[in-house]
Amino acid sequence: MKTNANPGDYVEVHLTKQIYEGVLLETPKLEKGIILLKLDSGYNIGFNKKDVLDIKVVRRAKEEEEEIEIKKDREKPNIAMIITGGTIASRLDSKTGGVDPLDTPENLFKFYPSLFEKVNVVKVEVPFMKTSEDMNFKDWQKIARTTKKLLDDNNIKGIIITHGTDFLHYTAAALSFFLKNLNKPVVLTYSQRSIDRASSDANLNLQCSALAAISDMAEVMLVGHAFFK
C-alpha cells in the first residue's frame, strides 16, 4: 500500500470493515510494520500495515505559524509562571504523538488564550521538566528558589506553578515550609487530561489559578476543579 500522507496530516485509515480518522503519527524505528494514529478522542491506536487498505489525506499538517506577539494590557495585573512538567504544561507534537513543554508566554497564549483574559503573563521560568513522581527534595528547593526570585519582583502580583498530579501535594507541602511570610499568592495547578482532549480540565484550572494568583490570599495553595481519579 502506497500513500502520500505524512506524519502530522489528518487522515482516514481504511480497513476492511471500518474507517478511522485522526492524525497520522511517526512510526518508531522498531515498529515499521505498524501505522499509528491519534484519534479525535486523544488516544493513540495502532494498525498492522497488512490490514490497511488505504490512507486518505483529509487535510495536511499546518506549517509552523508565525510568531505570536502578545500585547500587554496595562489595566491587567502581571503574574509569572513556573513550568515544572506535567500534562498541563505540555503540548501535543502532532508528528510523534509525544509532548513538548509550553515554555514561553507565546506558547501559553497559543494553547491557553483564556489565561490571558484577566492577567498578563510577563515571565515564564522552567527550572526543569520532570514527572512529579521523579522529583525529590533538591527539586523542591529549586522550585522554592525560583519562586522566591519571582516574589521579589515588585512588578509581579502572583505566581502560578504548573505541576504533575501524582506528587503535587508533596511539592505544595514543601513550599509551604520553605516560603515564609508570603505577601503574594503562590498557586500550584495541574490537569488530568491533556489539552488535545475534549475533556481536558487544563483551561479551567489555569483560568481559576490566574484569579487566585491576583487575589489577596498570600499563601501556597492548590487550585483544581475536581477530585483525582
The C-alpha atoms of residue 74 and residue 9 are separated, in whole angstroms, by 40
What's this model's pTM, rounded to 2 decimal places? Answer: 0.73
Question: Is residue 229 pLDDT above 50, yes or no?
Answer: no
Query: How many CA atoms, within 13 angstroms, populate the side-chain half-sphere of residue 95?
Result: 7
Question: Is residue 135 pLDDT above 50, yes or no?
Answer: yes
Question: Span 143-152, mean pLDDT?
Answer: 97
Residue 1 confidence (pLDDT) = 67
Query: Are 182 and 211 members of one domain?
Result: yes
The Cα angle at residue 22 between residues 193 and 192, in degrees rounded to 5: 5
The overall average pLDDT reported for the chain is 86
Query: Are 205 and 108 members of one domain?
Result: yes
Contact 112, 202 (CB under 8 A): yes
Here the cell at position 158 is 502572583
Neighbours of 215 (CB within 10 A): 14
Query: In this predicted model, what pLDDT tens digit does every residue of 100-113 receive, in sequence order?
Result: 667 676 777 777 88
Query: In this predicted model, what pLDDT tens digit does every residue of 187-225 receive, in sequence order?
Result: 999 988 777 666 778 888 999 999 999 999 999 999 987
pLDDT confidence band for 64 (50 / 70 / 90): low
Decide if 1 is inside a domain: no
pLDDT confidence band for 228 (50 / 70 / 90): very low
Structural domain harbouring 161: 78-223
Query: Above pLDDT 70, what percent of the chain?
Result: 86
Query: Are 181 and 87 members of one domain?
Result: yes
**For the ranges 18-32, 37-51, 145-159, 212-226, the one whose mean pLDDT is highest:** 145-159
Q: Which residue has the higher pLDDT, 61 or 25?
A: 25
Nearest CA to 171 among 157, 149, 187? 187
Q: How far apart are the first and last CA of the chain?
A: 42
Residue 67 confidence (pLDDT) = 56
Helix (H, G, I), strand (E, B) or coil at 27: coil
Query: Are 41 and 153 members of one domain?
Result: no
Query: Are 147 and 53 members of one domain?
Result: no
Residue 103 confidence (pLDDT) = 65
Query: Are 54 and 84 members of one domain?
Result: no
Domain count, the chain: 2
Q: Which residue has the higher pLDDT, 222 or 7?
A: 222
Decide if 66 is inside a domain: no
Q: Which residue has the higher pLDDT, 92 or 214?
A: 214
Decide if 228 is inside a domain: no
